[in-house]
Structure 1
Amino acid sequence: MFLADVVAASAELAATRSRKAKIATLSALLSRAGPAELPAVVAFLTGRPTQGRIGTGWRTLAGLDTAPAAAPSLTVAEVDAALDEVASTAGAGSAQRRAEVLRTLFARATEAEQHFLFRLLTGELRQGALEGVMVDAVAAAAAVPSEAVRRAFMLSGRLPETAVAAIGGGEQALGAFRLRLGRPLRPMLASPAESLDEALAEHASVVVEYKLDGARIQVHRNGDEVRVYTRTLREITGQVGELVELVRALPCRSVVLDGETLALTDEGRPRPFQETMSRFGSTREEQVRALLLRPYFFDCLHLDGVDLLDAPLRERNAALRTVAGEHLVPGRTEPPDPAGILDAALADGHEGVMVKALDSVYAAGRRGRAWLKVKPVHTLDLVVLAAEWGHGRRTGYLSNLHLGARDPDGGPPIMVGKTFKGLTDELLAWQTKRLLELETHHDDWTVRVRPELVVEIELDGAQISTRYPGGVALRFARVVRYRPDKEPSEADTIDMVRATLK
């Protein structure tokens, strides 16, 4: 398959908001792809190379300055091989060698293909093929139920691998995916509830537990081997030695646990989220000693050879209690006193509570409302689109943030407001440095950036407004924290912003 075919499909996706049309375009293209090139086709059209980050940045690509080819000749396989070479190049002189490989690649690309590759490699490809749309397209191309693809994707953690199985082997091949120790699963997520009463009314039998202000982790143990993953399935085993030792000492032979981890103060209260996240990128002994992480587990997906994904939560809870001990998430009470748990969670410095249906199975993503989160303070995770230079004591700092909500149809983020509130001096300095690294262009007052940073915003709902493209504007928005554990594809949608309308 030629890269031009993928680029043409990408243009079709960007030109329509119809989910049905997007699925039709994608499934037709996937049906034509060969088994060897199918993973790259799926990866490219969901906005990332098969290699993930390839070790080159926006400035390197912008500096290639290569004249486009007159006619298309690049195949998908050739592009994937070139990116393999770029990603595997390391050592002295590697930056120059990577640039040479990319320059050769771009020289063979037409103007449209160059634009596509540039956006693909900088994370700016927003043509509408989000994972949910691609799952349905894979199902259509393979003539299998979407739920079968979705479950296999949860177990594999990789959509290209799932697509190859579905299109090459159908429902039988998808059914062969099993929970594998050492291979992370895509996590189950919670939906927001307006109040505790609303959440309790949705299910006949629930468990209520603290909603911790920590970082999501998934731990796998097989004998003495332990691996730890983030919510984005990135392995951090080498950075969290104390968690590894703790899990290795649990009373079991094998286990997969879902939970959160956080750094605590001497008084036992949660430290700022950024301090917890700083451990995920550090192996420095002094930082490890200063910021020991404490895990709290809230789900058990496997125990001593038995997979529990399809067991109801009440059975998973029973298994969890046998191994988690003091590391069980606080709360974990089945009524009578859920309101007391909410008060206690807030008093202990946490965000609120989770209300979970005891008859629910584990399903990746935000599927239905089996898990509900209740927070007194309403927040949204939004994408930073730009920032304006500050005035007064903020002169020299990028301050006023332009905020975008995710387009559920896969288009570019939709601007919904601005805020400069809630920014400490330390956060202003970090924010300015990071945003300048992500700059795409600027004018006298505003720096536009690649939409890569997710920031948590506290707000008093939204209001109807013609000022922004989404038709709504945030009310009294302020920055709570940045979310380095989340990707832009996990930001809240424009629909979720509209749901807060006063």
Structure 2
Amino acid sequence: MPLARLVEAADALVATRSRTAKTDVLAGVLGDLFPDEAEAAVGLLLGRLRQGSIGLGYRTVLSAREGAPAASEPTLTVADVDAVLDTIAALGGSGSAGARNAALTALFERATAPEQEHLVRAMTGEMRTGALEGVLTDGLAKAVGLPLAEVRRAVMLSGSLPGTVRLALEHPEALTDVGLAVLTPVQPMLASTATDVAAALAVTGEASVEHKLDGARIQVHRSGSDVRVFTRSLADITARVPEIVEVALTLPAESIILDGETLMLDDSGSPRPFQDTMSRFGADAAREQVLAPRFFDVLHVDGEDLIDRPLSQRLAALERIAPAYRIAGEVTTDPAVAERVADEALAAGHEGVMVKGIDTAYAAGRRGKHWVKVKPVHTYDLVVLGVERGSGRRKGWLSNLHLGARDPEGEFGPAGGFVMVGKTFKGLTDELLRWQTETFPQHAVDDNGWVLTMRPDVVVEVAIDGVQRSSRYPGGVALRFARVKRYRVEDAPGGESALQAKAPAEADTIQSLRALLR
């Protein structure tokens, strides 16, 4: 397939918000693919390269593009691009950086200007066409003429959308044979959110209300003496977590698939900060600190698939197989009981609770109403220190915000200054993007072509799930899951009154954010 065909499709996806229209665009593209180019094409459409992370940082990619004149006519194919990325992925050792840059530059020289832009976004994960996996799955079902439910199930159980696309194009009839397989990761079931446990119970009915740990999602497979541990993104981390492998081998089952989380505990048994847990997943991480697995679901036991069984039966099986490693919780319809469980979870240092319909099946890969997450949300008034130019659907707008907290005592910089604590583009409506684009240049003190550096004049209210330690920012903390709630500025969209507006001197401090660290 010509790369230009993907570029045209991406442009069409950006141009519409209609899910039906996006589905039609993707069905047309997928239907034109050859099976052997399917996985590469899906990666280039989603901004998730088939080769994975191969050392293509933003600066590396932009530098290569800047040094390459654009081709006048499109000649590249998906296979051409994939072959270059394979070459780059194989590079290593002395001189690899130069060879990588040379290969990238040569690729960009063969691409037209629109193709260059598409490649930059694909390589840097900045595609933002609104074509996520769910829409692409819809497009695949339409392209091959199969029921959507059948295609969705194949994607979920295979754990690979690109692989499912290839299988569907080669042998569409084989999708019905895709099933749960021990040692093959399954897309995890996801949760929606609610403001409180009463609202969550109103959605789920009778539910298992369980502690929501501030850990890393894991999926543990065992077949005899063979154990595999996968992350939420289905990456195989078995070699990095020997303690979890050891636990799996002690369980009274020959074959099993468990869903849960892992976290690091301190000497008192309380959870350590999230980033301590995540540091153990690094390839070169020290093994002195032990990860503790905790499980909340079981999908398979000794040849019997439980994925379509109600949660009540799966929990009974989990209690039989791994009682010492179950996440705490209670089954109830009473909001008062659920609130007590939530209070206990927070007192134990956890994030909140998960409320799960007790009669529901495991909907792999889906974010529905059967699982509902409830956890406290913190809001802070921060200042905008800079803003990045958007890409994809946000091209032409000022989008990604650089956020700063006030440092009144000068603990991390000049007294009364501001310390950067993170970035976000979440929560920005088209109205806010338009306002930012019109307003922020008036506050700019520098512009490098990508980032507008601003005077700390604009205060924005941001919701966060918490903070984590970070060496990237001078204050030593970074925001977790930040999203914009509103601007504390009189003329901002939303009708902010003068009484509600805030001056930069009223912004929250870096010390208040650091106080969230456990």
State the TM-score bracket (shorter-chain normalisation): 0.7 to 0.9
Deviates more, 1:55-64 or 1:243-252: 55-64
Residue from 286, 301, 304 that aligns with 2:302: 304
Q: Is 1:98 aligned to residue 100 of structure 2?
A: yes
Partner residue of 2:346? 346
* Secondary structure of the structure 1 residue equivalent to 2:270: coil
Q: Note the alpha carbon deviations across 1:325-354, whole angstroms, 9 max, x for none.
A: 210111244567433322322221212222
- Correspondence 1:42-441 to 2 at 5 A: 42-64=42-64, 65-170=67-172, 172-284=173-285, 287-289=286-288, 291-334=289-332, 337-377=337-377, 385-387=400-402, 392-395=410-413, 399=420, 401-405=422-426, 417=460, 427=469, 429-431=471-473
Cα separation, 1, equivalents of 2:9 and 2:234: 29
Contact 1:154 1:186 in 2 (8 A): yes
How far is the alpha carbon of 1:197 from its aligned partner?
2.0
How far is the alpha carbon of 1:165 from its aligned partner?
2.4
Contact 1:406 1:413 in 2 (8 A): no
Q: Quick one: which amino acid aligns to residue 331 of structure 1?
A: G
Q: Quick one: which amino acid aligns to residue 315 of structure 1?
A: Q
Q: Note the alpha carbon deviations across 1:306-334, whole angstroms, 9 max, x for none.
A: 11111111111121111112101112445
Count of equivalent residues = 455
* Secondary structure of the structure 1 residue equivalent to 2:425: strand
Backbone CA RMSD of aligned residues: 3.7
Contact 1:403 1:417 in 2 (8 A): no
How far is the alpha carbon of 1:75 from its aligned partner?
1.0
Contact 1:386 1:402 in 2 (8 A): yes
Partner residue of 2:29? 29
Q: Quick one: which amino acid aligns to residue 296 of structure 1?
A: R
Cα separation, 1, equivalents of 2:501 and 2:255: 47
* Secondary structure of the structure 2 residue equivalent to 1:39: helix
Cα separation, 1, equivalents of 2:243 and 2:324: 15
* Structure 1: gaps of 5 or more residues: 436-452, 483-502
Contact 1:208 1:353 in 2 (8 A): yes
Contact 2:422 2:479 in 1 (8 A): no
Contact 1:417 1:468 in 2 (8 A): no
Q: Note the alpha carbon deviations across 1:290-313, whole angstroms, 9 max, x for none.
A: x21111100001111111111111
* TM-score scaled by length of structure 1: 0.80
Cα separation, 2, equivalents of 1:454 and 1:164: 39
Contact 1:144 1:166 in 2 (8 A): no
* Structure 2: gaps of 5 or more residues: 381-387, 389-398, 437-458
Deviates more, 1:11-20 or 1:267-276: 11-20
Deviates more, 1:152-161 or 1:395-404: 395-404
Cα separation, 2, equivalents of 1:423 and 1:339: 21
* TM-score scaled by length of structure 2: 0.78
Cα separation, 2, equivalents of 1:135 and 1:413: 32
Cα separation, 1, equivalents of 2:21 and 2:513: 37
Cα separation, 1, equivalents of 2:142 and 2:96: 42
Q: Note the alpha carbon deviations across 1:90-121, whole angstroms, 9 max, x for none.
A: 23322222222222211111111111111211
Partner residue of 2:447? none
